[in-house]
Structure formats: structure tokens, C-alpha cells
A and B are shown apart, each in its own frame.
Chain A
Amino acid sequence: MHQWDFASVLANTDALAVGALGTLRIFAICLVAGLSLGLLVGLGRYSQRRAFYWPATAFVEFFRNTPVLVQIIWFYFALPILMPFSISPLAAASLGISLNSAAFSAEIYRGGIQSIDRGQWDGARALGMTFLQAMRRIILPQALKRMTPALTNRAIEIFKMSTLASAIAYVELLQQAKLIASLNFNPIEAYTAVAVIFFVFLWPLVQLTYVLERRLARDE
């Protein structure tokens, strides 16, 4: 029977704290970059102009249909060959996760915008608004409300995906757990601790999406 001993993990809280900071950093970068790029791509997917529609569609299809880990590894090992500069693990992982999240959130934005009643457009145009004004003032505010649960889900996915950065040795929680496990020979406690940290952080967020979904279902 294994004797659980978390003292060896607790002795390395500073290492875990550094990891947690790394996780939060990459999460913040990918959340902002992914969801804002996603809006642009989503508008492109919604556009009737081919010059916008086709590149956006190609982008979405490509990044949705390849694994994130392959994208991260491509940006880390393959891209620098074409570039005159080197790419840090943070940059490569952020690129992979952001572009992937942009592709997935683009479909959420598109669906949300499409779900808004045509009359809203007509009304806005009748008041003399341009396409962009109507989009910004009338359509997006309504669509965003409907998209909130799906976008929160995306945020949770991004948080989970951030662990993939450890595959290219970016310092985040899982990478620090690997380090602690190899120095103290305590993989059981180290990986359990990290799993618990993720669960404690994400569980309230998941519950929040349930609440948002229920509230939305009630409102509509």
C-alpha cells in the first residue's frame, strides 16, 4: 500500500506558484488573442464577400481539423526555419492555442450573429445606421448575451489546453509537476496535486456555465 506523503509537494509550493503564474500568463494571452481574433474570423465567415468568406473558412477548417499539439509543435520546431528569429516556447504555444481557439470561437460568433432576427438589421438600417454601426450597437450586444455560455466553455477549454505548452518545456503547472516529481521521486503526489489545483480552479467556472445556460434558456 502506498504511503501518501504530500509534504514533499508542499515543500515545493514556490515552484508550483511559478508554474501557476506561467499557466495564468499563457491563459490570459490566448484568451484575449483567441477570442478577439475569433470575432474577426467569425465576421469573415458571416460576410457575403468572397474575399472575406473564403480565407476565413479555410482558416477555420484548417485549425479545427488539426490537433492543437501538432500546431504548437509546428510553430516551435518548423516555423523558426522559415523565420529569421527564434521562437520561444511561450510564443509557439500561444500561437497554437490562440489560433485554434480563434477558429472554434469564430463559429460561436457566427452562430450568435446569425441567430439574431432579421428585423433587428432592418430596423437599424432604417434608422440610417451603417452596417458596422448596426453590428456594433444593435446586433453584437444581443448576440453576445446568447454566446456567453459557449464562450465561457471556450475559456475553460483554453485553460485546459495550456497544459500542452509543457510538451515544449514552457514553465507552467504541469511542467513544474514533472520537475518536482523527478527531483523528489513523488509522481503520485505531484500529479495528484496538480490535478486537484486544476479541478479547484475550473470547477466553479464549469458550474457558472451551467448557471448561464439555464438563465439563458429561461430568458428566451
Chain B
Amino acid sequence: MAYQWDFTPVFANADLLAQGLVNTLKVTGVSLACGLVLGLGFALMRLSRQRLVSWPAGFVIEVFRTTPPLVQLFWFFFALPLIVGIEMTPLLAAVVTFSIQSAAFFAEVFRAGIVSVERGQWDGARAIGMTHGQALRRIVLPQAVKRMIPAFMERAIELMKTTTLVATIAYADLLFAANEIAQKTFRPLETFTVVALIYFVVITAFSLAARQLERRLAVSGESTVH
């Protein structure tokens, strides 16, 4: 088959692709930031001894870890606005879905990290008069977070890949831009190949950076929890 490859129509739309990539990074960044904060909250709730606090957190974590992200996204985009009676934009739906979803995964990372800190650290902190909150903030979390970094990085990369789902609710991310260009130029082969390569380069760069960081942490003598 002698197909004539022609990338010029794709490169002519480079600005669309660039805008798409920016939007992809935007969704990833915002969801990551919200997901981390929310995830820590979920983890602390789940570790609580009061069932009224720990069970709801456990339920949310389990639901968001065991249902497909695309179903969650559709639910937040098509169903939630009707229940709450608010206007939902694709960006808002995506950020809400991916924040809660990654929070559910981050919560388990946080929990594993906090649990992995030796009991003696807690006892020591309490012995010198710290409250539970102080011990957590000053003694336990700083040690736990360092061990959790590799798992966080892995999850962040997963999150960036998951954000492609927003294209299905018409948010102009990189994949959506590709769809548009493919239809406009009748060059789906070149367009989707280029976009796959863009994702590959960006995500590989992030994983390499993550690996580098992991190695540096290993050198400074902290084991990594997986």
C-alpha cells in the first residue's frame, strides 16, 4: 500500500495542538493540586477511630477506585447538574471528577505512608507534649511524605493519561484538538500519530524526571513505599 504521508496539514494547525496541550496540562495540574489536598483529608478521615468519620471516607475511596473514570465523568457532567441544579462546564466536570478520583488513590498512598511510620515516633512526639495534630504535622507527615513521593509521581502520570477522557465531553484538550484537526484536514493518520507522539514525549519526560527524583531519594537513605 503506497499511502502518501503528508504532515503539513497537521503542522499548519500547530497552534490548535499547542492550545490543546496547555488545556491538558491545566486539567492535570488543577486536579492534581485539589486531589492531593482532598486525598490527605480522606486519608486522615479513614484513619480516624470514629466510625462516623472513617466509614464515609472509606466508602468514597472504594467507590472512586472501583468504578471506571469515564462513568464518573459522565455522571458528574450529565447527572449531577440536574440534581444540584447548577450549570456544569466540561472543564468543571473534569476537574471535579479527576480531583475526587485521584484523591481516592492519593488517600491510600497517604494512609500507607502514615501507617508505615514507626509507632515510636508517635509516642516520642506525645511524650514531649505535642497534640495529635502537632505530632502528625511536625513529626509523622514529613517522614511519610518523603517515602510516598514515588507513588505520587506514578499516580500523577496516570492522572495525565486519564485526562484524555475529557475529550469525550468536548473539552478542548489535546485529544479533542486532534479530533477536530483530523476531521478538518481529512488526515487522521498523520494527526493521531503526531498527537500520540506528543503524549509520549511529554509523559516520558515526566517519568524520567520521576525516576531521577526517586534515585536521589534512594541515595539520601529513605526507602520507598510501594
Contact = CB atoms under 8 A, between A and B. Distances in A.
A192 interface: yes
Contacts, number: 117
A191 B74 contact: yes
B67 A199 contact: yes
A191 B79 contact: yes
Contacts of A79: 189
B200 to A, nearest CB: 5
Interface string B142-170: 00000000000000000011101101100
Interface residues of B, number: 41
Interface stretch (B44-52, B58-66, B127-135): B58-66
A6 interface: no
Given A78-B188, A188-B82, A192-B79, A203 B66 contact: yes
Contacts of B75: 191-192, 195
A174 B162 CA distance: 17
Nearest to B157: A65
B102 interface: no
A172 B165 CA distance: 17
Most buried by B among A66, A162, A178, A194: A66
Interface stretch (B29-37, B114-122, B191-199, B217-225): B191-199
Contacts of B162: 67
A62 interface: yes
A70 interface: yes
Interface stretch (A10-18, A49-57, A124-132, A163-171): A163-171
Contact of B74 (A174, A203, A206): A174
26 contacts: A65-B199, A65-B203, A68-B161, A69-B165, A69-B167, A73-B175, A73-B178, A77-B188, A77-B192, A78-B189, A78-B191, A81-B189, A159-B68, A160-B69, A164-B70, A166-B70, A166-B168, A174-B74, A178-B74, A181-B78, A187-B74, A188-B82, A195-B72, A195-B75, A203-B62, A206-B62
